Amino acid sequence: MGGKPDIIKAVVLIFAAGLVITGFTTIQASESPSRAYSSINMDAYQAVDSRRNR
């Protein structure tokens, strides 16, 4: 019976580490497309501006 609390602590620690890793991954994933989207929009605006300047 002495080993069960250690196993429970290990399972909880692994679960908590998984939550933390998932949280960081989700934050990074949500930031990346917005940056890519803004750079695509800037390229589109520059293309439109260059057509107007001709």
What's the whole-model pTM score?
0.48
DSSP class per residue in 22-45? HHHHHHHHHHHHHHHHHHHHHHHH
Q: Which two tokens stand for residue 25?
A: 């991954």
CA distance linking residue 24 with residue 36, whole number of Å: 19
Residue 1 is classified by DSSP as -
pLDDT of residue 50: 60
Q: Distance between CA 32 and CA 23 in Å, rounded?
A: 15
Q: What is the pLDDT of residues 6-48, one digit of tens each?
A: 999 999 999 999 999 999 888 888 775 555 455 556 666 666 5
